[in-house]
Chains A and B, each alone.
Chain A
């Protein structure tokens, strides 16, 4: 009985299991080749670079599970980034208020996306193309030119290891308390991403609404006939997507201590979030996958680019090589989907 449960888990989650193995292999090799591999400094740098795209990959997962695409995630991240660059400073109270306001902005924007898709009956890809442009427009109003003044201590504390965090805020004897020692080398951005995933995504997935999201993606007609709350699940999915995107924007503001309404960056992040979702093994047809898998996908996406800094590859050939490696990595996950005759097979 026990053994078969485990076996079923692996066969149902083959995509994410392969992706995780690929990520581990790539990351361990990278660390062996890096002159300062396996050090805290390298881990801190890597997770800092991956945090924003990790949040966006989670944001993109929900619309993809529905069988759609959200082209506004990068723009919502940019909008939240600009809001945070204005609000996240001052007294501790003001900082907390600024963070909550930033997250509320993104969440509200996500809810708006959901309402347009559900009540406006517009395809997600088109609806979010339009709302994405609106988000960038709002971001430009909030911050017409790059800048801002996000609290410096906060930036330093959240973009370093646990020890630096404790040291900055003089917690746990400035990071030297004995009970903190096992954790001092863990990068804070890693903890933040895991915290959001475990506290928000995992509980959501287990609710009826969360399961309905999966049901809509695999067979909307059947979900409707079964009396599942389809409209509620759709709106919830986009709202949660907006929340994750604003987490990304908030982190970006803290990391760069500024805001920048950069249209090109927003576009790049939207496309990369889709790539990360697919790399994690979530099907673009909907119904299969999850946000944790997308985190793994985001990790793979970033690690591939890390290699260009330790290997001697001609700069003008780098985009070509990156594209080819991505194609191979995506094909890994897709092979299984090609082979199944019936989508229900994926659940057996």
Chain B
């Protein structure tokens, strides 16, 4: 009996050490699979490779906060993409839960899905830290965790995001080019910022300021806080116009429909506007571009969830993947807008237009997402 006990203990120890040795992804040399879609963040980005598993896979999406249009659209996109013929056969089950802004609940949900034997877990982290334990468990069980949008401060998991710094720079460059084309080389600009204290808000703003600082022209940038929200942005823009009378251009991180609305309400002349990807903003730009509302629209797309799912599947198939995946910025300028293609005059203003990433084969149209309702899942 004692001998048996010893044997089992030794065996368990052996099994555990073997498991530990095999656990988690290996760091490998690039390039990874499908580099047009899964572009590495920078030249220093490492590549991770998991052991290949047989399809179909069980995938869970663990969302945190729910209750704004972006998150709801993200959830609908995840469900629509799971039905896409290209990946439908590779997914056995897709489960989506929202835990609210509650770190233990989100960590608990991730751990629960690991325990249930899921193969991949996609998540928008409620906090950039604190995932050490679930990462350790995921590695132990060969589960792929893919944070996107709000990513983690770690290089141990594969993550998907858009380059916020680059987004800020692109907005600023476009506005600068428009102003130079008009012959303006100095002036007053309005910057509408997002949620304070958020890394996305910080990076976008740094990108914008970098470009104007480097230009050398005499630019005065007035900053107001719009919280990425149409209502707030509309109010602060109207206030700023009341105080400063006229701006040469406006750069908004979000709530852009409200910003343009405020311009129209206050009788502000149409000037170049850089903004997010709200359908309402694109509608207004399409309508008023020839009056001077030369707009650029770049979005943090709810469609990122689809890229994250695709990346998870690719990792499960055993492909080498960049640790940090940079999704190309979906850009549309005023001269590229086309009703029914990159904006929809029959969809609501707060719909986020960017959902298509051609290099990734992710092509879910706006109406397809909006038609996803509660009845056609499960």
Contact = CB atoms under 8 A, between A and B. Distances in A.
A213 interface: no
Contacts of B103: 252, 256, 260, 262, 265
Given A159-B133, A310-B116, A255 B65 contact: no
Contacts of A145: 197
B113 interface: yes
Given A35-B117, A42-B115, A49 B105 contact: yes
Interface string B88-111: 000000011111111111011101
Contacts of B104: 48-49, 51-53, 252, 255-256
Given A36-B115, A255-B107, A315 B127 contact: no
B283 to A, nearest CB: 25
Contacts of A312: 95, 377-378
A193 B9 CA distance: 31
Given A255-B130, A256-B129, A305 B72 contact: no
B374 interface: yes
A268 B129 contact: no
A210 interface: no
A23 to B, nearest CB: 17
Contact of A34 (B66, B101, B116): B116
B159 interface: no
Contacts of B99: 305
A262 B129 CA distance: 12
B128 interface: yes
B75 interface: yes
Contact of A146 (B9, B117, B128, B133): B128
A28 to B, nearest CB: 17
B91 to A, nearest CB: 14
A9 to B, nearest CB: 33
A68 interface: no
A314 interface: yes
Residue from A144, A265, A318 with most neighbouring chain B CB atoms (10 Å): A265
Interface in A52-87: 52-53
Interface string A233-245: 0000000000000
A39 B111 CA distance: 13
Contacts of A255: 104, 107, 130, 133
| Chain B interface residue bracket vs A | 35 or more
Nearest to B110: A45
| Chain A interface residue bracket vs B | 35 or more
B107 A262 contact: no
A335 to B, nearest CB: 29
Contacts of A152: 132
A262 B126 CA distance: 9
Interface in A130-157: 144-148, 152, 155-156
Nearest to B375: A314
B112 A256 contact: no
Contact of A318 (B98, B108, B129): B98
A264 B113 CA distance: 25
Contacts of B95: 309, 312
Interface in A250-272: 252, 255-258, 260, 262, 264-265, 268-269, 272
A1 interface: no
A346 B19 CA distance: 57
A312 B97 CA distance: 10
Contacts of A332: none
Nearest to A176: B9
Nearest to B153: A147
Given A45-B112, A305-B105, A309-B116, A268 B100 contact: yes
A159 B136 CA distance: 13
Contacts of B75: 315-316
Contacts of A204: none
Given A48-B107, A155-B133, A258-B130, 18 more contacts: A35-B116, A45-B111, A45-B112, A48-B111, A51-B104, A52-B104, A53-B104, A146-B130, A152-B132, A252-B103, A252-B104, A255-B133, A262-B103, A264-B65, A312-B95, A314-B378, A315-B97, A318-B98
18 contacts: A39-B115, A46-B108, A49-B108, A51-B104, A144-B197, A146-B127, A146-B130, A156-B133, A255-B104, A262-B101, A272-B102, A309-B60, A309-B95, A309-B109, A312-B378, A314-B374, A315-B96, A315-B97
